[in-house]
């Protein structure tokens, strides 16, 4: 594989990897309909705030979200909302998978 192609694949994989954690995917989905501050997200996640902050920074570093400080709070929003549009296909994958598992019983 050529250098540039390789870099592109790596960048894309990095985005998917960032979304490939339950907490991070959940947070991204929460941002689908607009920005939220860290505290709003944290309200529903059973983890230390510092853990949540680190997850958000992974999403930010991958280019999935952008942050903005306003007053005491930091607000996060999706940078490219289409990133969640295709979850319907990911859902199709897990549905097919679940059906197969079921057939085994």
Query: Of 25-44, which residues contact a second copy (CB under 8 A)?
Result: 25-26, 29, 44
Distance of CA 37 to the CA centre of its chain: 15
Which residues are CB-contacts of 64 (< 8 A; sequence separation ≥ 6)? 15, 18, 19, 28, 78, 79, 80, 83
Contact 47, 36 (CB under 8 A): no
Query: Which of residues 10 and 71 has its CB atom nearest to a second copy in the complex?
Result: 10
Give the one entry of a second copy, DNA, none that residue 68 binds, where binding means its C-beta sits below a cut-off of 5 to 8 angstroms depending on kind.
Answer: none
CB of 77 to DNA, least distance (A): 13
Regarding 21 and contact with DNA (CB under 7 A), the answer is yes
Of the candidates 46, 74, 44, which has an alpha carbon nearest to the alpha carbon of residue 59?
A: 74
Regarding 50 and contact with DNA (CB under 7 A), the answer is yes
Contact 24, 55 (CB under 8 A): yes
Regarding 38 and contact with DNA (CB under 7 A), the answer is yes
Please give the residue ranges that form the binding site for DNA (CB under 7 A): 17, 21, 23, 37-39, 42, 47-58, 67, 69, 71-74
């Amino acid at each position: 594989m050529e250098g540039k192609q390789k870099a592109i694949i790596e960048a894309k994989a990095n985005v998917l990897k960032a979304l490939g954690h339950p907490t991070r995917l959940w947070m991204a989905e929460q941002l689908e309909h607009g920005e939220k501050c860290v505290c709003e997200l944290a309200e529903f996640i059973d983890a230390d705030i510092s853990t949540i902050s680190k997850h958000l920074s992974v999403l930010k570093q991958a280019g999935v979200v952008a942050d903005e400080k306003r007053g005491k709070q930091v607000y996060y929003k999706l940078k490219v909302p289409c990133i969640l549009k295709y979850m319907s296909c990911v859902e199709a994958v897990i549905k097919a998978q679940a059906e197969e598992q079921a057939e085994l019983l």
